């Protein structure tokens, strides 16, 4: 068999860094979402770009699927090797290769996690602002075009990856971009690879923009009588141009999760979690301007978190939302939605989602990077209960269609993976075939993360 032949050659290349051990296969076939386990035939642990190139050369020769794996925190099953083949575990390529402090950038390997990166950066006075809840790998974050709580201020991975090194399907190593802040020299392959979910190439090195640590940071929470009030407060804040560093919605059900899981002791009402960054004056100005708007929408219970410890506690709560969700209907799994709509449509979308899940009897939290118009329902579902699963899927379907009708997108940051392929044609129409054309040109044998991102169709 072709895969057998590939494994033989890979074993010669990697020795015991190619494994078919059951525990390794199992670990690489799991996911944090509701998708079924999918085992690879083997797991490879490359330690250099050259090894990744050799691995792809071998797999390409033998039509053996290759699915990149790192922190495994993706929520649409992106790292699951659903067609078998090799799980390419990038976690040994986890070094910070350079910090170019004068140019406000750094060069990292894809297996480094964002927390490890920021720990290493601490002494430089710089930080990397993109923070999905999980301690994701930088390579995975680029591959899914991740964002998170600070995207409202600093943009997503789209705006923060300056340059890439990647290994293409046949093993060719390419470099895209440079350390210059901008360029007009040809097709933008950096942005093509960011968000391609490992289907066009394997990212082996990233140059990232960094930000100076702000002089002053102040966080706060406040609560509202309804998600509609909370979201309308957000809309006016953004429209007023207040440069929020973070502005996050959590609905009453999510607060219940925080209370159960974290002992947060918060009133079970919709909250906004906020952060202001800048000079001490700017932070005061921003907080004052926000406070005036919040008052208009009946905000109460303002609580500041100014010390580093208090802020860390606040954001650890928010970042742990996925886990706090598990406290809400124990034994079930979480189906996460990820629509993003124009901010003027956000109140309509969020209030519809909350009302509709309640009508359907689905336990669902809502958390949102609402400054971007992006929010997540965390639907608790027993995937073995076909009726319940269908109810949840129908809800998600309706939510996604509504987002598209509002000229939004079905995914603000989680990506397509397995779960959202059905929406690709609906969201992109004729443009979808121009995505397929790139896949066909770059990976004619379809060995790179097959079965992901693009829906089945003419390849």
Residues within window 41-70 making contact with a second copy, judged by CB under 8 A: none
Query: Using the rule CB under 8 A, which residue among 13, 104, 287, 327 binds a second copy?
Result: 104
Q: What are phi and psi for residue 127, nearest 5 degrees?
A: -150, 160
First to last CA, the chain: 23
CA distance 176 to 170: 17
Distance in Å, CB of 371 to a second copy, minimum: 8
CA distance 98 to 276: 29
DSSP 8-state assignment for residue 6: H
Contact between 216 and a second copy by CB under 8 A: the answer reads: no
Contact between 144 and a second copy by CB under 8 A: the answer reads: yes
Residue with tokens 């706090």: 324
Give the number of residues in contact with a second copy, rule: CB under 8 A.
89
Residues within window 67-96 making contact with a second copy, judged by CB under 8 A: none
CA separation, residue 315 to residues 171, 276, 318, 320, 414 (Å): 41, 13, 5, 8, 20
DSSP assignment string, 313-354: HHHHHHHTHHHHHTTTSTT-EEEEP--B--GGGHHHHHHHHH
Contact between 268 and a second copy by CB under 8 A: the answer reads: no
Residue with tokens 């650890």: 316
CA distance 221 to 272: 6
Span from 98-106, 220-228, 260-268, 382-390 in contact with a second copy (CB under 8 A): 98-106
* Residue 235 or 255 having the CB closest to a second copy: 235
* Residue 45 or 375 having the CB closest to a second copy: 375
Residues within window 234-263 making contact with a second copy, judged by CB under 8 A: 235, 238-241
Distance in Å, CB of 444 to a second copy, minimum: 10
Query: Using the rule CB under 8 A, which residue among 57, 96, 155, 323 binds a second copy?
Result: 155
Residues within window 407-446 making contact with a second copy, judged by CB under 8 A: 407-416, 420, 423-424, 427-432, 434-435, 437-442
Span from 7-15, 177-185, 247-255, 391-399 in contact with a second copy (CB under 8 A): 177-185
Query: Using the rule CB under 8 A, which residue among 91, 96, 192, 216 binds a second copy?
Result: 192
Q: Which of 414, 345, 337, 419 is nearest to 378 (CA)?
A: 337
| Edge-to-edge strand list for the sheet holding 173-177 | 96-100, 105-108, 201-209, 161-168, 173-177
Span from 86-94, 317-325, 340-348, 377-385 in contact with a second copy (CB under 8 A): 340-348
Residue with tokens 């400054």: 371
Residues within window 275-334 making contact with a second copy, judged by CB under 8 A: 279, 281-282, 285
* Residue 40 or 139 having the CB closest to a second copy: 139
* Residue 38 or 126 having the CB closest to a second copy: 126
Distance in Å, CB of 316 to a second copy, minimum: 24
Residues within window 370-399 making contact with a second copy, judged by CB under 8 A: 372-374
Q: Which two tokens stand for residue 76?
A: 């649409």
Query: Using the rule CB under 8 A, which residue among 37, 119, 135, 183 binds a second copy?
Result: 183
Query: Using the rule CB under 8 A, which residue among 191, 304, 311, 445 binds a second copy?
Result: 191
Q: Which two tokens stand for residue 242?
A: 């207040």
Q: Which residues pair with 15 in a beta bridge?
A: none
CA distance 25 to 29: 6
* Residue 62 or 420 having the CB closest to a second copy: 420
- Give 444's contacts (C-beta < 8 A, 6+ positions apart): 169
CA distance 419 to 35: 8
Residues within window 3-32 making contact with a second copy, judged by CB under 8 A: none
* Residue 201 or 378 having the CB closest to a second copy: 201
């Amino acid at each position: 068999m072709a895969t057998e032949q590939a494994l033989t050659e890979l074993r010669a290349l990697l020795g015991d860094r190619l494994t078919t051990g059951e525990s390794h296969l199992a670990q690489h076939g799991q996911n944090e979402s509701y998708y079924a386990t999918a085992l690879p035939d083997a797991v490879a642990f490359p330690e250099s770009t050259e090894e990744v190139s050799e691995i792809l050369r071998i797999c390409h020769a033998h039509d053996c699927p290759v699915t990149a794996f790192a922190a495994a925190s993706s929520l649409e099953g992106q790292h699951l090797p659903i067609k078998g083949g090799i799980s390419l575990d990038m976690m040994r390529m986890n070094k910070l290769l350079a910090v170019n402090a004068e140019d406000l950038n750094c060069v990292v390997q894809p297996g480094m996690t964002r927390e490890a990166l920021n720990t290493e950066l601490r002494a430089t006075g710089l930080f990397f602002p993109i923070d999905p809840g999980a301690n994701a790998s930088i390579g995975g974050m680029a591959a899914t075009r991740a964002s998170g709580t600070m995207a409202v201020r600093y943009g997503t991975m789209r705006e923060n990856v300056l340059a890439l090194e990647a290994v293409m399907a046949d093993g060719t190593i390419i470099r895209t971009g440079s350390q210059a802040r901008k360029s007009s020299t040809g097709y933008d392959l950096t942005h093509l690879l960011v968000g391609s979910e490992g289907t066009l190439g394997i990212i082996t090195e990233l140059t990232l923009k960094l930000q100076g640590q702000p002089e002053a940071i102040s966080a706060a929470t406040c609560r509202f009588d309804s998600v509609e009030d909370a979201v309308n407060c957000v809309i006016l804040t953004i429209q007023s141009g207040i440069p929020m560093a973070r502005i996050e919605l959590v609905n009453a059900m999510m607060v219940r999760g925080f209370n159960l899981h974290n002992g947060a002791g918060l009133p079970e009402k919709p909250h906004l979690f906020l952060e202001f960054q800048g000079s001490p004056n700017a932070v005061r100005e921003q907080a004052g301007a926000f406070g005036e708007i919040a008052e208009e929408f009946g905000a109460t219970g303002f609580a500041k978190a100014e010390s580093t410890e208090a802020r860390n506690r606040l954001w650890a709560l928010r970042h742990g939302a996925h886990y706090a969700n598990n406290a809400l209907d124990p034994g079930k799994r979480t189906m996460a939605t990820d629509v993003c709509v124009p901010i003027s449509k956000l109140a309509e979308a969020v209030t519809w989602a909350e009302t509709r899940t309640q009508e359907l009897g689905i336990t669902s939290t809502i958390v949102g990077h609402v400054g971007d118009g992006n929010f997540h329902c965390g639907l608790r579902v027993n995937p073995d209960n076909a009726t319940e699963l269908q109810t949840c899927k129908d809800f998600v379907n309706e939510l996604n269609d509504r987002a598209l009708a509002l000229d939004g997108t079905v995914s603000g940051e989680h990506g397509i993976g397995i779960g959202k392929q059905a929406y690709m044609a609906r969201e992109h129409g004729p443009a979808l075939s121009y995505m397929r054309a790139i896949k066909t040109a770059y990976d004619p044998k379809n060995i790179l993360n097959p079965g992901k991102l693009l829906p089945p169709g003419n390849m």
